[in-house]
Amino acid sequence: MTENRKQKTENHLTTIAALGSHVGQVVTLQGWVYHLRSSGKVRFIVVRDGTGLAQAVLVKGRVPEEDFENFGRLTLESSLILDGQVRADARAPGGYELEVTRLQPVHIAQEYPIAPKEHGVGFLLDHRHLWLRSPRQQAILRVRDEVSRACRDYFHDRGFVLIDTPILTPTACEGTTNLFETNYLDRGKAYLSQSGQLYLEAAAMALGKVYCFGPTFRAEKSKTRRHLMEFWMVEAEAAFYALGEVMVLAEGLVRFIIQRVLEHRGADLETLERDPGPLKTAGAGPFPRISYSEALQRLQSQGLEVPWGEDFGGDEETVLSRMFDRPVLVHRYPRSCKAFYMEADPEDPRLALCVDMLAPEGYGEIVGGSQRVADLDVLLNRVAEHHLPPEPLEWYLDLRRYGSVPHGGFGLGIERVVAWLCGLHHVREAIPFPRLLDRLYP
């Protein structure tokens, strides 16, 4: 039932976040009921409007009788329009109160399924479309927004050009085991992009410094707290960059993101009960750098035996990332456990010129990057070794035929970074509608 009673008002339409600049004035707020309470002749509505929470007070005799009666019809999450005078009140949530002069319900909500009591995470995920309304989830989404904007600003300020890479692709980028397959009408199979990197390399040969920012897909058969089937990645690629420059660029980005979140989203971190201390330390840098072999020794000293040549799993990353109070750059993994496109280390060709950045506090890998193979024959051998079909990669091989240069870049997983900055246990809360092994709804 939508009530068509919205009347024109002379009052200034504002938001809860902006109440502070309207003390003493009569304003209009539009929002939803977060909490209701009565006491004698006074009625209290805690209203939310997406920018914050504010208490609205209705005193019998000071609002039209009909509006006072309408309070009794309100339920949690009913939508409404309120007119009232703004008062500063240190005890009120948010610091301001609205003394209501008009209350107009817009829609009376049915019984709201999410009560303030504890719900299991399965129930909350089934109601993700409503769960987003909770203050905690709103805070996470605002941090995510800040992280995304910081990424764009960082690259834009440094002369990187945004390139939108395709989602439907004819080939794999990050190995063939977790590809999402789809039918491309009469042309056979297509795959959802695992990474925009290969296309970004082409664009880097055109524009020098480029980045992409979009959804990527991995049919991950694992149910870890770090894996999504669909996640957002920001990737950078630059011509004439070697591994060292890739590491500097990636460290700069992560420090920039941290500083921006601390600067602009402090209130949200507070809502999340996230201690900003460790983030301040991390943001100050510099980030330590260790080689894969040093990482192996460090793991061994903690009783974790990883055979040389194998990649680190979640447990190893957790242990390594707890050894530092800021992100650590682990470089030069064995080529055997990394992607086909990585350049070999001229000092030891068993190693790749690559880097993973592990976030502290046990969060693990947030960035993966490398210098890329620049030579055509080397790349042809790699394609064969990895049993990749060469035909759909012809265009990628062309980049090594026409003015090939050393180049490199990295990808940063947005949800992993948001989970770390917000102190979340699982990446599923870091994306509005998570796609998990056992979840495609809502």
**Interaction site with Mg ion (CB under 5 A):** 368
How far apart are the C-alpha atoms of 252 and 339, rounded to whole Å? 24
For residue 265, what is the enclosing H or E element? none
For residue 27, what is the enclosing H or E element? strand 26-39
Quick check: 245 binds ligand 4AD (CB under 6 A)?
A: no
Give the x/- contact pattern for ligand 4AD in 148-187, rule: CB under 6 A: -------------------------xx-------------
- DSSP class of residue 436 equals B
Quick check: 364 binds ligand 4AD (CB under 6 A)?
A: no
3-class DSSP state of 194: coil
Q: What is the distance in angstroms between the CA of the first residue and the CA of the last residue of the chain?
A: 24
3-class DSSP state of 96: strand
Of the candidate residues 79, 104, 171, 195, the single one contacting ligand 4AD (CB under 6 A): 195
* Stretch in the footprint of ligand 4AD (CB under 6 A) among 77-85, 227-235, 276-284, 327-335: 227-235
Quick check: 241 binds ligand 4AD (CB under 6 A)?
A: no
Of the candidate residues 235, 317, 345, 429, the single one contacting ligand 4AD (CB under 6 A): 235
For 240-338, strand residue ranges (E) read 289-291, 328-331
What does the DSSP assignment read for 351-419? EESEEEEEETTTTEEEEEEEEBP--HHHHHHHHHHTT--SGGGHHHHHTTTSS---EEEEEEEHHHHHH
Task: Report the 10 Å Cβ neighbour count for 152.
Answer: 14
Q: From ligand 4AD, Mg ion, none, which one binds at residue 233 (CB under 5 to 8 Å depending on kind)?
A: ligand 4AD
Distances (CA, A) of 245 to 123, 234, 407: 46, 17, 10
* Stretch in the footprint of ligand 4AD (CB under 6 A) among 22-30, 58-66, 250-258, 360-368: 360-368
Quick check: 211 binds ligand 4AD (CB under 6 A)?
A: no
Q: Which is nearer to ligand 4AD, 140 or 366 (CB)?
A: 366
Percent composition of the chain: helix, strand, coil (DSSP 3-state, to 5): 35, 30, 35
Quick check: 416 binds ligand 4AD (CB under 6 A)?
A: yes
Quick check: 31 binds ligand 4AD (CB under 6 A)?
A: no
How far apart are the C-alpha atoms of 113 and 101, rounded to whole Å? 30
Q: From ligand 4AD, Mg ion, none, which one binds at residue 227 (CB under 5 to 8 Å depending on kind)?
A: ligand 4AD
Q: How far is the CB of 366 from Mg ion (least distance, A)?
A: 10
Do 59 and 99 touch, CB atoms closer than 8 A?
A: yes
Q: How far is the CB of 352 from ligand 4AD (least distance, A)?
A: 12
Q: How far is the CB of 136 from ligand 4AD (least distance, A)?
A: 21
Q: Which is nearer to ligand 4AD, 63 or 412 (CB)?
A: 412
> Amino acid identity of 116?
P
Q: How far is the CB of 116 from ligand 4AD (least distance, A)?
A: 31
Residue 382: which residues within 8 A CB-CB, separation 6 or more? Answer: 340, 341, 373
Distances (CA, A) of 75 to 47, 196, 220: 12, 47, 41
Q: From Mg ion, ligand 4AD, none, which one binds at residue 52 (CB under 5 to 8 Å depending on kind)?
A: none
Q: Which is nearer to ligand 4AD, 68 or 363 (CB)?
A: 363
* Stretch in the footprint of ligand 4AD (CB under 6 A) among 32-40, 137-145, 224-232, 247-255: 224-232
Q: How far is the CB of 55 from ligand 4AD (least distance, A)?
A: 39
Of the candidate residues 368, 371, 419, 428, the single one contacting ligand 4AD (CB under 6 A): 368
Q: Which is nearer to ligand 4AD, 19 or 320 (CB)?
A: 320
Structure tokens belonging to residue 331: 């470089």
Quick check: 233 binds ligand 4AD (CB under 6 A)?
A: yes
Dihedral angle sign, alpha carbons of residues 103, 104, 108, 112? negative
Task: Report the 10 Å Cβ neighbour count for 291.
Answer: 15
State the number of binding residues for ligand 4AD (CB under 6 A): 23
By the criterion CB under 6 A, which residues form the site for ligand 4AD? 173-174, 195, 197, 218, 220, 227-228, 231, 233, 235, 365-369, 409-411, 413, 415-416, 427
